[in-house]
Amino acid sequence: MSKERSLDITDKKILYEIQKNGRINLVDLAAKVNLSKSPCYQRLKRLEKEKYIRGYRADLDPKKISRGYLVYVQVKLESTRRSALEKFNKAVKTIPEVLTCHMMSGGFDYLLKIRTRDMTDFRELLVDVISDLPGVHQTLTFPVMEQIKETTELTIEGLD
């Protein structure tokens, strides 16, 4: 097992630029990070291979594709034994409307971020699917009135 290599400033600049624009062409990326095309390409491929870059995606407008209703759901399970958690984890991954699922500590066990067409769509999902997930004891729902900020861009240490 190899030790994870630390990133130099050029690697960090590549990551910064790629997360801002995953479709940037190689010539423009190389110029932004002060490299020629070939070394930039080699670094980019290495960062992909080492899983610093997990993939490339389009940022879709949820409203334009009928997924404008955003809601967060707290889920409390009947039990937090390993087997109960594993069953819930496996089942929740199959629900396409669940965008994120985080195991939490505190007063509830999971926090789900869900997008549906509207409240009626969400209510059906909650009653017919979420509430029937393995081990669900209680849910609390928090509809979003207005989204103020959403980003996938991470702060990269060492870039000022």
- Confidence label for 6 from pLDDT (cuts 50, 70 and 90): confident
pLDDT band at 22 (very low <50, low <70, confident <90, very high): very high
Which amino acid, residue 145? M
Is the confidence at residue 4, as pLDDT, over 90? no
Within the chain, all domains assigned CATH 1.10.10.10 are found at 9-49
Name the class of domain 9-49.
mainly alpha
What mean pLDDT do residues 30-44 have?
A: 97
Q: What is the pLDDT of residues 91-130, one digit of tens each?
A: 999 999 999 999 999 999 999 999 999 999 999 999 999 9
Instruction: Give 43-96 pLDDT, tens digit per residue.
Output: 999 999 999 999 999 999 999 999 999 999 999 999 999 999 999 999 999 999
pLDDT in tens, 132-157: 999 999 999 999 999 999 999 999 99
Which run of H or of E encompasses 92?
A: helix 82-92
Matching CATH number, 67-143, of 3.40.50.150, 3.40.1390.10, 3.30.70.920, 3.40.50.970: 3.30.70.920
Residue bearing tokens 């995606």: 57
R_g over Cα of the chain: 20
Q: How confident is the model at residue 1 (pLDDT cuts 50, 70, 90)?
A: very low
* Residue 43 identity: R
Domain with CATH 3.30.70.920 in the chain: 67-143
Alpha-carbon torsion 60, 63, 64, 65, what sign?
Answer: positive
Residue 55 buriedness (CB in 10 A; 0-12 / 13-18 / 19+): exposed
- Band the pLDDT of 5: cuts 50, 70, 90: confident
Beta-strand relationship, 110-116 and 98-103: antiparallel
